[in-house]
Each structure stands twice: as structure tokens, then as C-alpha cells.
Amino acid sequence: MADEDDLDDLLDELDSQGDLETSQQVLSIRTESRRYDKPVTIIEGFDLTKSEIESTASDLKSSLGTGGTVDEGRIELQGDHRDRVPDLLRDRGFDVRE
């Protein structure tokens, strides 16, 4: 039984270290105008695997009700979401520079 407790403690410690890494990543958010003057919100500065960035992008897209993509390690969301994205990213443990 003690082995299971030790394993749980180790897993908890690894989880907390993962959160620390996320909070150390400073993300920047900006917008660009694309075709037909449509705004695109771009989030950069991730130091995550592609699948983790895609998962974060998926969460943001559903929360915002918008489309988007992951391109070259950054998330691109359709529309100007600079007002809502920082709070959503902070809720997920990221540090956001505005």
C-alpha cells in the first residue's frame, strides 16, 4: 500500500512541475488584418508539443465560438479576441503579456 502512496505523491509532484512550466511561458497576443480586412488574433510564445498547442487551440475555439488553426507553433483565431483570450489563457495557467 505504501508503494501506491509514493507513486501518487510522485505523480502529484510531476503534475505541479508541469503547471510551473506552463506559468513560466510568457505568451503574447496580437491581431493582424488578413484578406478582406478580417482580423485574426495571434497567440505566440508557446513552449509545448504540437498536440498540447492544438489542444489549447481547440479549447479556445470552443470557448470563443470561433474558428482557427495552429501554424508554426502559434494559435491563430478568426476575429479580434484580445479582450477575452488573456483571461482564458490565464485560467489555463499561462502568463500573458498584454
Domain CATH number, residue 32: 3.30.780.10
CA 59 to CA 71: how far, in whole Å? 16
Residue-wise pLDDT tens digits, 35-80: 899 999 999 999 888 999 999 999 999 999 999 999 999 999 999 9
CA 31 to CA 81: how far, in whole Å? 8
pLDDT average, residue stretch 76-87: 95
3-class secondary-structure state, position 49: coil
Range of the domain at 69: 26-96
pTM attached to this predicted model? 0.75
* 20 occurs within a structural domain: no
- At residue 19 the predicted structure's pLDDT band, cuts being 50, 70 and 90, is low
* 12 occurs within a structural domain: no
